[in-house]
């Protein structure tokens, strides 16, 4: 019987997948649950693993609903001696409500350390800094409906919090453990400064020393820290990397990097479909009908037009409309790439997927998993990736099966003009099909695994 050692609760699928894949550094199996039974138990009978991640899909919910899901997730991982409540490294979402719900469900006191030094996100004097600039002085919350919090403690209101300063963290594990003990005894939540991964390791060690049933709260960096403390499974073998003949790449994010990433795909994808958000909301079936005309082979890209205007408050409706339009087509491809946790989760929910087995991380944040039926799912946070990152991902999964590499595939007008349309947003949702586009009888596709080699790492 495998004992659960770490339970990870994430409010977003792409972030949860990041945490889950890092567990493969220590364990042979890492699972993500996408749903819970009404009583809070897991839906999947076979989820015996040392590390279990639960995606509550709650970042965009109202606080009360998010708290309910977080509590159910906490019940599912309550046997774990260490529970990590993974929160957004930019403090978005229902941070306070979910921490309170998890702490109450588990009967544990939270220790909060949100720094992610590898991403240039560190907490000094209780203020989250991004590449040296306080979060509230950046534009990283510009699409949110409220201003960015001026401190971690403000983000946690109405919870009562006490700051553990960098000076205390620098003093070492014993000093932090004493501070955590005193703060917990007062009924407050400890919020920690941290500038380095070594600081996170100190905070983790202090939390473990203070209680055998620890509750740590932080970004993916804190989850990574908890995983590194596990005893590695020496007999664990790396999973084979899926080799696909067809990949549907869905860019449901409107992050600023998407336009450059789309431009790099021009001439390499068999088809690129840029979607005007207003037209998608008006008629999701138009996109569904358009995709019926596209051959499910090679790389097919569907993306929200990064230059098109979107009304405030339309984000959730866009995600739902995109997922509804894509659902009938996803399993016709051997694999699907989904950017943005909201988009990924919405698409998988419509396919009835309740868990994912994590296989590998292609690059930071780009996580390859498989469904219970063996379908390949690749997830990535919407804001991640350099300009050529989508091309690299496609080549890793498809080999040289890209249009620009000589494979005989239909290239649509949208693909041929992707560089221009990514910059000018001239593509339309229901543009006429080109003469070479063919309609095919669709059936679920199957992928195959290729063992890692020097050529196929």
Q: How confident is the model at residue 177 (pLDDT cuts 50, 70, 90)?
A: very high
Task: Give helix 341-350 / helix 13-22 axis angle, nearest 10°.
Answer: 90
Q: Which has the higher per-residue pLDDT, 243 or 401?
A: 243
**DSSP string spanning 320-355?**
HHHHHHHHHHHTTSSEEEEESHHHHHHHHHHTT--E
pLDDT in tens, 23-55: 998 999 999 999 775 454 554 445 679 999 999
Q: Classify strands 127-130 and 133-134 as parallel, antiparallel or unpaired.
A: antiparallel
- Residue linked to tokens 């960015």: 148
- What pLDDT, on a 0 to 100 scale, did the predictor assign at position 36? 75
Q: Which range among 63-72, 251-260, 283-292 shows the weakest confidence by mean pLDDT?
A: 251-260
pLDDT of residue 341: 80
Token pair belonging to 395: 């080549």
Angle at 142 between CA 34 and CA 199, to 5 degrees: 65
Tokens for 72, please give them: 């159910």
Residue 306 CA to residue 391 CA, distance in Å, equals 18
pLDDT at 170: 98
| Helix, strand, or coil (residue 393) | helix
**Which DSSP symbol is given to 212?**
S
Q: Helix 197-210 crosses helix 220-228 at what angle (to 10 degrees)?
A: 70
Q: Please tell me the predicted confidence (pLDDT) of residue 364.
A: 86
Residue 437 has pLDDT above 80, yes or no: no
pLDDT in tens, 131-171: 999 999 999 998 788 999 999 999 999 999 999 999 999 99
Model pLDDT, residue 41:
52
Question: Is pLDDT above 50 for 453?
Answer: no
The confidence band for 418, taking pLDDT boundaries of 50, 70 and 90, is very low
Distance CA 209, CA 173 (A): 8
How much of the chain exceeds pLDDT 70, in percent? 83
Q: Helix crossing, 389-398 with 258-265: angle to 10°?
A: 50
Average pLDDT over residues 9-32: 93
* Averaged pLDDT of the chain: 85
Helices 315-330 and 341-350: crossing angle in degrees, nearest 10, is 50
Secondary structure in 3-state letters for 152-210: HHHHCCCCCEEEECHHHHHCCHHHHHHHHHHHHHCCCEEEECECCHHHHHHHHHHHHHH
Confirm whether pTM is higher than 0.75. yes
Number of Cβ within 10 Å of residue 335's Cβ equals 23
Measured CA to CA, the distance from residue 320 to residue 252 in angstroms comes to 10
User: Residue 47: its pLDDT value, please?
Assistant: 61
pLDDT score of 342: 86
- Banded pLDDT at 402 (limits 50, 70, 90): confident
Distance between CA atoms of residues 196 and 116, nearest Å:
8
**Cα gap 394→246, rounded to integer Å:** 10
Could you tell me which residues come within 8 angstroms of residue 170 by beta carbon, excluding any fewer than 6 positions away?
A: none
Kindly report the number of other CB atoms within 10 A of residue 285's CB atom.
11
What residues pair up with 124 in beta bridges, in sequence order? 127
Top-confidence residue, 441 or 227 = 227
CB 388 within 8 A of CB 264: yes
Segment among 69-78, 113-122, 291-300, 301-310 with least mean pLDDT: 301-310
Do 105 and 201 form a contact (C-beta atoms < 8 A)? no
Residues facing 194 on adjacent strands: 123
User: Are 265 and 418 a contacting pair, CB within 8 Å?
Assistant: yes
* C-alpha span between 108 and 154 (Å, rounded): 21
Q: Which residues have CB under 8 Å from 434's CB, separation 6+?
A: 410, 412, 413
Q: List beta partners, residue 32.
A: 53, 356
Q: What are phi and psi of 147, to 5 degrees?
A: -70, 155
Task: Express each pLDDT in 250-277 by its tens digit.
Answer: 998 877 788 899 999 988 999 999 999 9
Interval 85-132: pLDDT, tens: 999 999 999 999 999 999 999 999 999 999 999 999 999 999 999 999
Distance CA 311, CA 277 (A): 9
Give percent of the chain with pLDDT exceeding 90.
68
pLDDT of residue 385: 80
Q: What is the pLDDT of residue 23?
A: 94
Domains of the chain and CATH, by start: 6-228 (3.40.50.10840), 241-450 (3.40.980.20)
């Amino acid at each position: 019987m495998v004992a659960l050692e770490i339970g990870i609760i994430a409010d977003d699928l792409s972030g949860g997948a990041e945490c889950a894949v890092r567990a493969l550094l220590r364990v042979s199996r890492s699972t993500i649950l996408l749903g819970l039974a009404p009583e809070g138990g897991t839906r999947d009978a076979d989820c015996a693993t040392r590390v279990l991640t639960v995606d509550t899909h709650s970042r965009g919910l109202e606080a009360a609903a998010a708290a309910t899901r977080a509590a159910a997730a906490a019940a599912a991982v309550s046997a774990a001696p260490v529970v990590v409540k993974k929160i957004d490294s930019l403090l978005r979402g229902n941070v306070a409500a979910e921490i309170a719900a998890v702490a109450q469900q588990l009967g544990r006191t939270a220790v909060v350390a949100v720094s992610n030094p590898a991403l240039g996100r560190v907490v000094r004097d209780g203020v989250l800094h991004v590449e040296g600039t306080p979060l509230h002085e950046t534009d990283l919350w510009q699409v949110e409906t409220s201003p960015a919090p001026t401190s971690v403690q403000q983000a946690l209101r109405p919870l009562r919090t006490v700051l553990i300063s960098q000076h205390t963290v620098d003093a070492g594990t014993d000093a932090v453990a004493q501070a955590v003990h005193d703060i917990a005894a007062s009924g407050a939540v400890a919020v920690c400064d941290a500038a380095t991964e070594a600081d996170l390791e100190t905070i983790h060690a202090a939390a473990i020393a203070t209680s055998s049933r620890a509750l740590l709260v932080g970004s993916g960096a804190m989850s990574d820290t908890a995983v590194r403390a596990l005893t590695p499974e020496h007999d664990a073998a790396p999973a084979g990397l899926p080799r696909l003949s067809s990949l549907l790449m869905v860019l449901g994010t409107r992050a600023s990097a998407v336009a450059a990433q789309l431009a790099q795909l021009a001439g390499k994808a068999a088809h690129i479909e840029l979607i005007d958000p207003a037209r998608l909301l008006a008629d999701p079936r138009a996109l569904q009908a358009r995709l019926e005309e596209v051959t499910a082979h090679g790389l097919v890209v569907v993306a929200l037009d990064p230059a098109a205007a979107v009304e405030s408050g339309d984000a959730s409706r866009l995600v739902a409309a995109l997922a509804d339009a894509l659902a009938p087509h996803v399993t016709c491809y051997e694999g699907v790439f989904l950017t943005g946790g909201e988009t990924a989760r919405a698409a998988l929910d419509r396919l009835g997927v309740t868990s994912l087995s994590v296989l590998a991380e292609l690059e930071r944040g780009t996580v390859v998993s498989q469904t219970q039926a063996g379908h390949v799912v690749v997830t990535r946070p919407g804001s991640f990736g350099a300009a050529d990152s989508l091309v690299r991902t496609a080549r890793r999964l498809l080999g040289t099966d890209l249009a620009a590499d000589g494979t005989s595939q239909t290239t649509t007008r949208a693909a041929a003009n992707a560089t221009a349309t990514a910059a000018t947003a001239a593509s339309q949702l229901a543009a006429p099909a080109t003469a070479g586009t063919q309609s095919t009888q669709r059936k679920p596709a199957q992928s195959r695994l290729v063992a890692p080699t020097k050529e196929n790492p």
